[in-house]
Each structure stands twice: as C-alpha cells, then as structure tokens.
Amino acid sequence: MPDQSAVSVASASHPSAARRSTPHPPACADDPSAPHPAWLPDSAFAAVGSRRVLTAGEGLLVDTVRLEIAQATAAFSGTVADVPHDDTQPDLVLALLDHAPQTVADVASALREAGPLGEEGFVLARRAGTTVVLATHGAGLLAGMFHVVRLGESAFSADITPERHAPAHALRKLDHWDNIDVHPVMGQVERGYSGGSVFYADGGLRTDLSRVRGYARLLAASGINRVTINNVNVHASEALLLTRRLADVAALADVFRPYGIRTHLAVSFAAPILLGGMSTADPHDSTVASWWEQVTRTVHAAVPDFGGYVVKADSEGQPGPFSYGRDHADGANMLARALAPYGGVVHWRAFVYDNHQDWRDRSTDRARAAYDHFAPLDGRFDDNVVVQVKLGPIDFQVREPVSPVLAAMPRTRLAVELQVTQEYTGQQKHVCYLAPQWSEVMGFRPWGQDGPAVSDITTGAPSPDARRSVRDPHAGGGLAAVSNVGMDQFWTGHPLAQANLYAVGRLAWDPSLTPSAILAEWSALTFGADDPVVASTVQTMLTGSRDTYEAYTAPLGVGFMVHPGHHYGPGIDGYEYTPWGTYHFADRDGVGVDRTRASGTGYTGQYPQPWAAIYEDLDQCPDELLLFFHHVPYTHVLRSGSTVIQHIYDTHFSGVEQVDAMARSWSGLAGLVAPDVYDRVQERLEEQQRCAREWRDQVNTYFFRKSGVPDERGRQIF
C-alpha cells in the first residue's frame, strides 16, 4: 500500500514520533566487498567437485555448466573433460541429449520414451557407478547440475532409476522494486531492507556487475528464470530504461542470460507521453499502439531474449487506461500485441483499488477491489497477457484469505504474486519464514477438496473438469515475487531471510515441496550438511516463525495495525481513519470487518462454494480469519474454545515467549556458525525481541482499554 506520496504525508506528520518509537538497528549499509555466498558456498560443491565429470553439449548455458564444474573440480581435486576416455569411467555425466556419449544411451532412450522434457527439464539417473544428467537444452542441463549439487553425496551413492524433472511453472519471476535514483522517503529500493540496489548506483547502472552475476547464479540454483529490473512505481529516471537507458537493460540481460534468466522491465503506461512526446497514451489510438510497437522492436533488437513488460496501472497514482475511458484488457492487450512477435509477455498487475476511500463509508471494501475490476474482464486478455494477482485481497499481510480473483478468471493466464521482501512481516529484522504461507496459498482449493488447487491454476495444469478452460498446459501465468535483495553483505539484511529467497524459487519450480523440506535443503547448502545441531536449530527457529509473527501482531486475520508509511512496528489505529481502506473497526463492544453478504460488504460472495458459505458462517469460518470476515463481540467464543479477547491476550504473551525461545536457540550456535552471520542474526533477534514486546503491550493494552475485559490469567497489561 501507500505509495511515496502517502508515505511522505504520513512520515511528514509524525517524523519525530517515528524516530522515537522504533529505534531500529543500523540500516544495512552497502557493502562493496564480496557478499556472503548464501546457498552456494564452495563447500556445497564438494561432492561434485571431487568427481570425474564428463560434460557434453554446446551453447551458452552448457558453457556455464562447464565453468561451474571447472571451478568445483579445481577446488576439490576432481576432473572435468569433454571427451570420454575409454579407460576412465566418469562419476558424473552432464550432457545434452544430442551430444550424449554412447555409454549413457540407456538413459537417453529412457528420456526419449518419456516424451518432451521442455527447455528446462532434465533426466537424472545413476547406474553402474555413474550419475547421469541429460537434457535437451542448456537450461535443463544447468538445472540438472544444480540439482546434483543439492543432492550432494547422495547423488553418488545408491542407484537412481531415471527420474524426470521439469518445472511446474514456466514463468518464475522475481520483481525488483529498485529505483535508479535514491528516493527521499523510500530509499533506493522501495520496501527494501537490504541496502541499495544491486543494479544501480550514483544515478545509473553500477559499473561493477559482479554482484549481479553472483545473484543470477543463486537464482538459477533455486529455480527462478525471470527478473524484472525496476520498480512497478515507475519514476522519471526508470521510465527511461525503455528508451535512452536501454543499454543498461541490455547490460543486465547479458549478465542474467548465462544463468538462463530472462530480463523484464516495469514500464509506465504513460510512456508515450513521458518519453514519446505524444499527447495521449490511449490504447485505442493507433499512433500510441505504433509507438509501443516501434519501441518494443528496438528493445528486442538490444535484448533478443527480452521477457516482457510488467505494469502497475490505475493503482496508487500510476497512470493507466482509465484516463481514456478504457479498461485493463484494452491496456494490456495493446502492449501484448507489441510484444507478441518476439515471444514477450505482459504481466499486468491486479493490485488495483481505491486509495481515496472515506473511512466513514462502511460499504466500500478494499478487499473487493481486485475481483470487481478484473473478474468481469475474464476472456478478454490476449494469450501473452498474464494477470498478476497478489496472494490475498489486501496487501501481503501475514494472514489473509487467498485472493478470490485466482478462482474467478478461468479464461485468463493468472500468476500469483508473493512478497519475499518482508514489508509487513518484520522487514528482515524479524525471523519470518514465509514458505508455509506460500505453500498454503498454492495448495488452497477454491472449489473445495475435490477441485483444483491454486497451483493448478498458476501452472495451467489441464483441469479434470470444466472449471478451467485454459487451452494448453503451458498456459498458466506462473509465479511472481518481490525480491528481498540488496547490496547488504548478507544479500537480505537478516541472514535467515535468505531462506525466503531460496524457498520462493524452489516453490516456483515445484509447488508441492514442503516448507520443511525446502528449509532442510537450504540449511544444508548454506551451513553444511554435517552439523546436526545447526540444522535442527535453524529448523526449529524458522519453522513456526510465521505463526510467531502472527501471534504478536494483528490478531485473527484483521491485518494492518502497522505504523503508517514505513509499516514497521505496531500502529493499531495507524490506518483506522485514513483513505487506504484497511480498517479493523474496534470499539468498546467488538472488533473485525463484516464482509458477509448478509449484513456486510458482500465480499464472501466473491468465492465459489464451499468457501463462500464457510466464510459467511460465523460458526464455520476458520479462527485465524475470523476478524477478516466478521465483526464480533470480544466475548465471542472461537472454535478453539477461547474468547476473542482472551485469544488476543494469550497469543500476544506467547508470541513474545516464542521470540525469546528463538533467541535462546540461536545463542546455542555461538562458535558453530560463522561469526559475522552469528552476530548479525543476534543483533536482529534483539530488535525482534524489543519490537515483539512493543507489539504485545500495545495490542493488549489497546484491547483491554477498549473492552474493559481483564486477562483471565492476570498478566501485566498497561
């Protein structure tokens, strides 16, 4: 929510208050030295690097595989060769199918029999002492190589009957909200908590792009294949990336390309006016469409594998087709037609709502907005348009219902948008492992247990029934996520927030992976596989951390209650009388938003059955979303048996206890993890403890004062 203008207003009105109430630890400084290796430390390559490796194939990405293997074998005394030697049997063969040596013909025929693998798929097998990865394209071979790295020694032990691996989502995109210039309020990266942009410095592209190369490598190893290199709030300097600064886009694309990552650009819908000197950006005006065609041709010439445009239109002050009486489909299709000849995609965001709402008017409901705008447009978008839908109807809160838009547009390619950067979930000062939330969303079944899951919609899996009529299995819109990376030494400010970045790539590749399996992979790669204490401590700290964060912040799905503008720390009434549409309606009798059809805003009606009925019914609505859907008295008894008010007290006390336990666990790792990692996490945990207490005391005190109901356990409330 709040764009810059709102933030400047909010922080201008309480500048000193903000400084007094949230004594943050020092912001992450830009660190030009070698960054932390994250999940690719040298040690992660020990198993591969000590082997005799045979590589075969040609092309840019195969060269990347060779380079990676050459580095690993140089470090761990293995060997790498391109030509099979009769006398030495390789331990590992990494080959393109067309170049596969005779000795792996059995795996090659298994691959052929299994049918097309796609560009990024691979087959893995192990027999007769040799592990084999075969792919039809370089991207698949690179993915296969990183898979073997992940497996470590277990890739070289027992036999593996040929396994096919292919990504569930064709589009796995990370969006950067990076600006070229440093914004006076937002800093350089909007909602960035990890220092400056890895792409830009001093008003232009960085001269040293080695960080970007390291970043591309990390992303490729996690599963990401698309990156948007600038903020969806497109300011003057960044708008120029489309034209005058196109060379910068090409330079970044050159760095991402060897790792199989295509570059996307966020563009301003008003670009024909801003950059083209035209008097209109009307999508029905043929000169506007021609302008986009000509500009896109130039972009494609500079970046032959250009991914496409990302657009935030008619939202929070960004220009869009509404100015010309046109709708989102008109706008998106015009851009899509300019990109179509080059295989580009338009990601058109569904995050559209009225941010000038009157808080007195209880009939307007921000949660309804995306559906009200987009559902009627289903079937009108071109095939190369993806409508990018935030996971919930409000804005990346720690708990929200799944967006009903995801079930409302069967004839549209839909992507789910996640937020890796922890805007509302502790800003990388708090430990908050988000994979459980994301995997809940991907696994949510809008039509009930027998129907498709959200991941079937985003992957475009053929539907067993008529609920989805999208034409082919590649028709899903995939997954998009807002990056949490910057120039910070640890990439993500909080070293443990690296787990979120890793997890988003892995879930994009395979949404059926469990959050704990992903965590185990990440921790073994990052900290080494051989220390059970580190592994189990990290698992314990991260596994329930999202529930912990939820426990000490806004209760029962009601959301927000954050400090206005910067969105860090408690601000219970911070948004209550603002135009942003994010209210909790607490009074002396009760709290929550009535979104029922019977007496509220009617939002529950945006869901198909059974959820429309479940959310509507006070007795069936899941506790964790109760206040999102219903306004209830404090004495209302939850399904858990507790009253709402007692639940608020209990969770806020226990949330702080859980953070304290987390800090104790971490202190047990002194001497077991690198000192700089240890210290940074320690410093962040201290801040999390302070902030969690502040949340606990403010929330408990607020509700005690509103309701007059004491804590039945008599704990301290102020």
Among the listed ranges 1-9, 263-271, 523-531, 689-697, the one in contact with ligand GCW (CB under 6 A) is 1-9
Task: Determine the straight-line distance between the first and last CA of the chain, rounded to whole angstroms.
Answer: 31
- Structure tokens belonging to residue 160: 């593996």
Q: Which of 130, 136, 222, 233 binds ligand GCW (CB under 6 A)?
A: 233
Strand partners, 127: 130
- Structure tokens belonging to residue 264: 């996307």
Strand partners, 189: 178
CB contact at 8 A, 621 and 631 = no
Rounded Cα–Cα distance for residues 258 and 68 (Å): 11
Residues 341-360, interacting with ligand GCW (CB under 6 A): 351
- Structure tokens belonging to residue 473: 């299995």
Strand partners, 92: 53, 131
- Catalytic residue list contains 316: yes
Rounded Cα–Cα distance for residues 224 and 237 (Å): 27
Decide: is 580 part of the binding site for ligand GCW (CB under 6 A).
no
CB of 190 to ligand GCW, least distance (A): 5
Considering beta carbons, is residue 27 or 74 the nearer one to ligand GCW?
27
562 backbone dihedrals φ, ψ, rounded to 5°: -100, 165
CB contact at 8 A, 666 and 542 = no
Residues 189-228, interacting with ligand GCW (CB under 6 A): 190-191
Of 543, 522, 531, 532, the C-alpha closest to 150 is 522
Considering beta carbons, is residue 353 or 653 the nearer one to ligand GCW?
353
Considering beta carbons, is residue 353 or 703 the nearer one to ligand GCW?
353
Identify the active-site residue in 91, 178, 248, 316: 316
Place of tokens 């109430």: 21
Q: Which of 396, 568, 628, 629 binds ligand GCW (CB under 6 A)?
A: 396
CB of 305 to ligand GCW, least distance (A): 26
CB of 3 to ligand GCW, least distance (A): 6
Residues 398-457, interacting with ligand GCW (CB under 6 A): 423
Angle, alpha carbons 263-267-273 (nearest 5°):
145
- Catalytic residue list contains 423: yes
CB of 7 to ligand GCW, least distance (A): 8
Considering beta carbons, is residue 191 or 366 the nearer one to ligand GCW?
191
Q: Is the dihedral of CA 136, 137, 143, 147 positive or negative?
A: positive
Considering beta carbons, is residue 239 or 519 the nearer one to ligand GCW?
239
Q: Which residues in 65-118 belong to E strands, given as ranges? A: 79-81, 92-96
Considering beta carbons, is residue 189 or 470 the nearer one to ligand GCW?
189
Rounded Cα–Cα distance for residues 503 and 542 (Å): 12
Considering beta carbons, is residue 7 or 117 the nearer one to ligand GCW?
7
Residues 168-187, interacting with ligand GCW (CB under 6 A): 177
CB of 482 to ligand GCW, least distance (A): 7
CB of 74 to ligand GCW, least distance (A): 43
Considering beta carbons, is residue 155 or 265 the nearer one to ligand GCW?
265
Angle between helices 435-443 and 515-527 (to 10 degrees): 150
- Structure tokens belonging to residue 56: 């075969």
Q: Which of 1, 28, 339, 558 binds ligand GCW (CB under 6 A)?
A: 1
- Structure tokens belonging to residue 215: 């970043």
CA 372 to chain centre: 24
In the three-class reduction of DSSP (H, G, I as helix; E, B as strand; rest coil), residue 390 is classed as: strand
CB of 583 to ligand GCW, least distance (A): 17
Identify the active-site residue in 190, 423, 521, 711: 423
Rounded Cα–Cα distance for residues 556 and 647 (Å): 9
- Catalytic residue list contains 510: no
CB of 417 to ligand GCW, least distance (A): 8
Instruction: Kindly report the length of the chain.
Output: 718
CB contact set of 249 (below 8 Å; sequence gap of 6+): 229, 241, 263, 265, 299, 302, 303, 306
Residues 2-41, interacting with ligand GCW (CB under 6 A): 2-3
Residues 612-671, interacting with ligand GCW (CB under 6 A): none
Considering beta carbons, is residue 395 or 456 the nearer one to ligand GCW?
395
Considering beta carbons, is residue 66 or 176 the nearer one to ligand GCW?
176
In the three-class reduction of DSSP (H, G, I as helix; E, B as strand; rest coil), residue 558 is classed as: coil
CB contact at 8 A, 627 and 558 = yes
Residues 286-325, interacting with ligand GCW (CB under 6 A): 312
CB of 392 to ligand GCW, least distance (A): 11
- Structure tokens belonging to residue 286: 């043929």
CB of 360 to ligand GCW, least distance (A): 24
CB of 386 to ligand GCW, least distance (A): 16
Considering beta carbons, is residue 70 or 182 the nearer one to ligand GCW?
182
Q: Which of 61, 198, 232, 267 binds ligand GCW (CB under 6 A)?
A: 232
Q: Is 402 exposed, middle or buried (0-12, 13-18, 19+ CB in 10 A)?
A: buried
Q: Applying CB under 6 A, what is the total number of residues that bind ligand GCW?
A: 13
Rounded Cα–Cα distance for residues 481 and 415 (Å): 10
Residue whose Cβ sits closest to ligand GCW? 1
CB contact set of 89 (below 8 Å; sequence gap of 6+): 52, 103, 128, 129, 130
Which value, in Å, is the radius of gyration of the alpha carbons in the chain? 26
Considering beta carbons, is residue 146 or 269 the nearer one to ligand GCW?
269
Identify the active-site residue in 365, 382, 395, 550: 395
Q: How far is CA 707 from CA 633, 648, 696, in A?
A: 9, 12, 16
Q: Give the alpha-carbon dihedral of 353, 356, 359, 361, to 10 degrees.
A: -70
Q: Which of 91, 395, 400, 550 binds ligand GCW (CB under 6 A)?
A: 395
CB of 72 to ligand GCW, least distance (A): 39
Rounded Cα–Cα distance for residues 433 and 437 (Å): 9
Considering beta carbons, is residue 396 or 634 the nearer one to ligand GCW?
396
CB of 156 to ligand GCW, least distance (A): 44
- Structure tokens belonging to residue 394: 């409000």
Rounded Cα–Cα distance for residues 442 and 389 (Å): 13
Peptide bond into 101 cis (omega under 30): no
Strand partners, 480: 173, 417
| Element of type H or E holding 42 | none
Residues annotated as part of the active site = 316, 395, 423
Q: Which residues bind ligand GCW (CB under 6 A)?
A: 1-3, 177, 190-191, 232-233, 312, 351, 395-396, 423
